[in-house]
Structure 1
Amino acid sequence: MYHILQSRRHRPSVWTFNRASEWWGVIVPGFTNTQWLENFRMSEETFIYLCNKLRPAMERRDTNFRVCVPLKKRVAIALWKLATGSEYRSVGHLFGASISTVCRCVREFCAAAETLLIPEQIRFPDQERFKEMAAYIENRWGLPQCIGAIDGSHIPIIAPQDYHCDYFNRKGWHSIILQGVVDGKGLFWNVFTGLPGSLHDARVLRLSTLWEVASRGNHIPASTKNIAGVNVGCYILGDSAYPLQNWLLKTIH
């Protein structure tokens, strides 16, 4: 009897709280391409690509005491939260996961994307790439010498305890600012984020790496094109909030 009790005492066991996950396990596998785009804002093919790319950072192994959340489900949880802005509790109910698991998946997904995806997907173009971008924009949109468009976007956050007023933006809520530059196809080639939402777009630009790089003048192509008698260099297009520079043109409202 003693040996039986001892074996039971040291025998590993798996413990989890049973949660309903029929939506992810039964409904999603039957999604059409249209449903994938509507729900996750990407195709299933792109989703599989992301899973494979993020596998080194996000895949987990089962332990003696707990079955891990599979990689695809972890990525899907993070994507759903980011795509819909739903509360952690609502996402957890949908996927059959706890609030802490949802929060962990989102954080790990963002960290993995920053480490593994950004260096590969968002890179400062070289001179040859700039020429290709300028040619595409001129052919597609009729803007000669333009190499991209810049704008800012406010990302909602929960107000931090310290200096919360700095994050209160002109729209009436707390945020951090994401500044992005895209090419003629809408693909990002420069991103800068993290500054408080109260800052003006022009201030954010001056604090960004783009300002430092462009102001030195050794990365933006120096080639010019004669347009109506004026030699025009390559430029980024911005709205009226941005300062006029020889490499940045602004619209007039």
Structure 2
Amino acid sequence: MDTALLLLLENPLIKRRLAKKRRFWTHNINRSRERFGEFFHLYKSLQEDSERFYRYFRMKESTFSYILEKVEWRIKKQNSNFRKAISPIEKLALTSRFLATGLSYRALADSFRMGFSTVASIVKDVCTAIWEELQPIHLGIPSEQDLLEISRHFYKKWNFPNCFGCIDGKHIRIRCPSNTGTSYYNYKQYFSIVLQAVADANCRFIFIDTGAFGKQSDGGIFRESALYQHLVTGKLNIPADRNLPNSDTKLPYVLLGDEAYPLLNHLLKPYPRKNLDAQKTIFNYRLSRARRVVECAFGILAAKWRILTKAIETSPENAEKIVNCICVLHNIIIDKEGIALIEEPKESTDSKKNRKNNSSTEQARDIRNCYMQYFNNEGAVPFQYNVL
């Protein structure tokens, strides 16, 4: 090393400044991370108990290893001259714990013996890596054959033919963003972004749209989404119209939505609740019974990933990354571990959704009427009359 530089470094004033600066590079508590950090004293023990591993990470060890294998190269960093880099497996463990519990960055920083900003950076990087690496595999755009398979499951499980998905929106609570006015303030009187999703018959997501303002209605969000554009322009790989089972009536494949959505050729919604006759009541019941799979999907999502039960304390942009990651994890776990049998949930009683600007075409109304006639004739099932 140059003599002049050595003399400079030996200067007491320079040495004090360097020492003061480096003192905050790693906090004294965090220096013992590999000895006392939660990951190091708990992970190996969890591996020895599959039930506790699942309860801690909300997934099996095989699923955890699969995700790690896919994203490891994206989140791995090289050791520096000053400190050892945090391993990918510890980063994934921390992020999984954050999503599973909703603990604050500060609480996780204390538990894992890391800095606050380090935890925030890890969560953002891992969520982004999971989305970009695994979304094409587990939440990619379905092919025509995929939609046909989904429709077969809907008919088998929920007695609704020619259905390739059910759509609904879920408000994701967030911390009040600065300088946004009431854009994120929803009718439930808290700040949120909206996750709009389409679920298949097994509560698996096939389309998602995340990040809309909380004040927007489901119908308004839908009309601004890529899904709507694909529906009206025919770019969605929807199969050709097909005869309903045991019938000569040929009808299009459809999504199922609630009253907040527009009635379209490929999207059915219930008849208005006023002046319902017996046939329309039965149609509404059959549609509602099938459509609840998306409500089940949201319920499973929130029960497993407890971050969704409280306000996400990040910017709306980072909250969107977190929600996208959770939706991919939801599909990965179903693909790898399956899903328990779905109990039929109670009928939704939410009547406050904005239902404006949902005018329909005559052709769309004719399609709904044909489905109504089918459910009251060839497609009738004995239990449907209990609703009357």
> TM-score scaled to structure 2, two decimals?
0.59
Q: What one-letter code is carried by the residue in structure 1 that aligns with 2:101?
A: T
How is 1:187-226 mapped onto 2 (pairs within 5 angstroms)? Answer: 187-219=204-236, 220-226=238-244
**Does 1:243 find its partner at 2:262?**
yes
SS in 2 for 1:178: strand
Output the CA distance in 2 between the equivalents of 1:221 and 1:171. Answer: 38
Q: Deviations over 1:122-156 (max 9, x none)?
A: 11211111111111221122211111111112222
Out of 178, 183, 207, the position equivalent to 1:166 is 183
Q: What one-letter code is carried by the residue in structure 2 that aligns with 1:241?
A: A
Output the CA distance in 2 between the equivalents of 1:83 and 1:171. Answer: 24
How is 1:1-253 mapped onto 2 (pairs within 5 angstroms)? Answer: 6=6, 16-17=26-27, 18-19=29-30, 21-31=36-46, 32-219=49-236, 220-226=238-244, 230-251=249-270, 252=284
SS in 2 for 1:164: coil
Q: Structure 1: which 5+ residue stretches go unaligned?
A: none
Output the CA distance in 1 between the equivalents of 2:50 and 2:221. Answer: 38
Q: What one-letter code is carried by the residue in structure 2 that aligns with 1:153?
A: K
SS in 1 for 2:203: coil
TM-fit CA distance, 1:166 = 0.3
Output the CA distance in 2 between the equivalents of 1:129 and 1:216. Answer: 19
Output the CA distance in 2 between the equivalents of 1:121 and 1:232. Answer: 29
Using a 3 Å threshold, how does the CA distance of structure 1 residues 105 and 22 change in structure 2: closer, same or farther?
Answer: closer
Q: What one-letter code is carried by the residue in structure 2 that aligns with 1:23?
A: E
SS in 1 for 2:244: strand
Output the CA distance in 1 between the equivalents of 2:88 and 2:195. Answer: 28
Output the CA distance in 1 between the equivalents of 2:64 and 2:148. Answer: 31
Output the CA distance in 2 between the equivalents of 1:34 and 1:115. Answer: 29
SS in 1 for 2:183: helix
> TM-score scaled to structure 1, two decimals?
0.88
Q: What one-letter code is carried by the residue in structure 2 that aligns with 1:16?
A: T
TM-fit CA distance, 1:108 = 0.6
Give 1 or 2: higher helix fraction: 2
Runs of 4 or more, structure 1, over 6 Å off, are none
Q: Deviations over 1:65-124 (max 9, x none)?
A: 121111111111112112221111111122222211110011111221232121222112
Q: What one-letter code is carried by the residue in structure 2 that aligns with 1:81?
A: F
TM-fit CA distance, 1:190 = 0.9
Q: What one-letter code is carried by the residue in structure 1 that aligns with 2:97?
A: W
Q: What one-letter code is carried by the residue in structure 2 that aligns with 1:247?
A: H
SS in 1 for 2:255: strand
Identical positions, percent: 30
Q: What one-letter code is carried by the residue in structure 2 that aligns with 1:42?
A: M
